[in-house]
Structure 1
């Protein structure tokens, strides 16, 4: 299965969403790994879920944390990439990468402050795989998408997805998983509408 653009499904909380998304060709699965976050994923559950999945990158979604706490998280959660919202933490990671000329995992920047993006994006772009913006920022992103790899995050209808792909250079979409109705019982409608329209023929 292949999709017409890059898709990340974040806030994954269960194996059902993970397997469905991976089977549909989703490139990245995101997990909330900080205990105070909604949809927090314990390390043991994360390891169980990811052991069943292949062919997709595992992303740790970090809002704000210290350098030391991040190192502790990375020890418990083997991953392919980090999605960072905290610009100070992101700057520390990039400075460390510049010193060693290496970054062992990909970085996604979940942009909350457009002014900081304007100040930092050009210098940081070498280290950032994707810049993640809210769908409400689409007007801000339209011109920037010609230059930077941008994902739009939010809930999308099939019509919205087609319009964005046809009219912009946005690289793809960041969707969200949802809770199971009961263990093993899952409604995929919220993902299916978008993923099925993105399937290649």
Structure 2
């Protein structure tokens, strides 16, 4: 079993999401190092194999980021501030730079290994002008698309624009060990090549 494209699941907070996604051959599991307790993160990570861990942070200074990386030991680092990319690269990890399309995309970027494009408007959809804009960006930069995707459009979007992968979001458990995966499951099943 394999997925048609690289998939990152952001903001994992529970073992149910982590194990389900690992079983679906998701490549990257993202954990917010700003919010998940190190003990809980370590417990979840101990159950996982075959996936890379993305340490996600909104920190605005390298000292804080360095402390988080030392504590959580991610395989990949996700940051949200373009001005920190060069400094963050000194930590020796692949870098994902998260950008908000609602704020516009910088015309010149350098240094990150991937650019995760999200949108702060939860109701935004992928219309023709937006796809055209993203197509130009993804042609120039290794891009992960993190908004506007659903089971009905994900394969078409992958055909239309040269993105390197997609990003979806984990969610809360209904109760410990019980989780309704909903749209994330539908999209992952659509991406399943078997």
Decide: shared fold, TM above 0.5: yes
Report the equivalent of 1:7.
7
Bigger shift: residues 163-172 or 76-85: 163-172
8 Å CA contact 1:154–1:176 kept in 2: the answer is no
Distance 1:66 1:170 in 2: 29
Query: TM-score, normalized by length of structure 1?
Result: 0.84
Q: Secondary structure at the match of 2:140?
A: coil
Q: What are structure 1's unaligned runs of at least 5 residues?
A: 35-39, 98-102
Structure 1 residue 26, shift from structure 2 partner: 0.5
Match among 62, 68, 73 for residue 63 of structure 2: 68
Say whether residues 1:150 and 2:143 are aligned partners.
yes
CA deviation vs aligned residue, 1:12-33 (integer Å, no higher than 9, x gap): 0001000000110101000111
Structure 1 residue 130, shift from structure 2 partner: 1.2
Relative to 1, partners in 2 of residues 1:32 and 1:138: Cα closer, same or farther, differing over 3 Å?
A: farther
Say whether residues 1:20 and 2:15 are aligned partners.
no
Task: Answer 1 or 2: which has greater helix percent.
Answer: 1
Say whether residues 1:189 and 2:178 are aligned partners.
no
Structure 1 residue 160, shift from structure 2 partner: 1.4
Report the equivalent of 1:199.
192
Query: TM-score, normalized by length of structure 2?
Result: 0.87
Match among 41, 45, 50 for residue 55 of structure 1: 50
Report the equivalent of 1:91.
86
Cα RMSD for the two superposed structures: 1.7
Q: Secondary structure at the match of 2:152?
A: helix
